[in-house]
Amino acid sequence: MEETFGTLAALSDTRQLVADPADDVRGRSVVDSGGEKIGTVADLLIETETNHVRFLRVEHGGILGFGAQASFVPVEAIVRLTADTVYVGSSKDHVAGGPKYDPDLVGERAYYEQIYGHYGQIPPYAPGSLYPGLTGLTGGPGLPPIR
C-alpha cells in the first residue's frame, strides 16, 4: 500500500497555533548555505492529520514587500535554526529557481514531488523517508509543536 500526504494547509488558515510562540519560525529570516539572506518565512504548510510541518513558505525578492515571490522549502532542507534565523542547505539562487508557490497547485502530489526533487529530498511518503530531527521545529522534532 502506497503512503501519501494527508491534507496540507497553511498554518495561518487553520485554528491551530504553535504550542510555544518562541518556537514559531514564521517571520524569521531564511539564510542560504553561503550566509546570504534569501527572504522571510511567511507561513508553514502543515499536514493536518499529523500536524507535521512539511514546508516553509518563504517570501523573497521584491522591494519593501512589493513584487516579492513565494517558494515552498521542504523542512528537510533546513540545516540549522536560531532564535531569529532559519538556515537552509541551498543557495539563494537555487531557492529562487525552484517551483514557485502556486495556490492552484497546493494539494497536488506532483507539485510537491517537484519541490522535493528540486531540493534533492525524499518525499515523506516514500520508502526510507525520515522526518527531520531538528531541535526547535514540530510537526516533528525540531519544528514547533502545533496544537
70 domain-assigned = yes
Report whether 136 contacts 128 (CB < 8 A).
no
Which residue is listed with cell 485554528? 15
69 domain-assigned = yes
Separation in Å, CA 10 to CA 27, 89, 105, 106, 107: 14, 23, 13, 10, 11
113 domain-assigned = yes
The parent domain of residue 64 ranges over 8-118
128 domain-assigned = no
Residue 21: CATH number of its domain: 3.90.50.10
Grid cell of 65 as nine digits = 514587500
Integer Cα distance of 128 and 112 in angstroms: 17
28 domain-assigned = yes
Integer Cα distance of 107 and 71 in angstroms: 15
17 domain-assigned = yes
**Element holding 92 (H helix, E strand):** helix 92-96
Its sign, for the CA torsion 146, 29, 54, 130, is: negative
Q: Domain count of the chain? A: 1
Integer Cα distance of 128 and 38 in angstroms: 30
1 domain-assigned = no
Per-position pLDDT tens, the chain of length 147? 345 567 788 899 888 888 888 889 999 999 999 999 999 999 998 888 888 888 999 999 877 667 788 899 999 999 999 999 999 999 999 999 988 877 777 777 788 889 999 999 888 777 766 665 543 444 444 455 555
132 domain-assigned = no
Per-residue pLDDT tens digits for 73-106: 999 999 999 999 999 999 999 999 988 877 777 7
Give the global pTM: 0.81
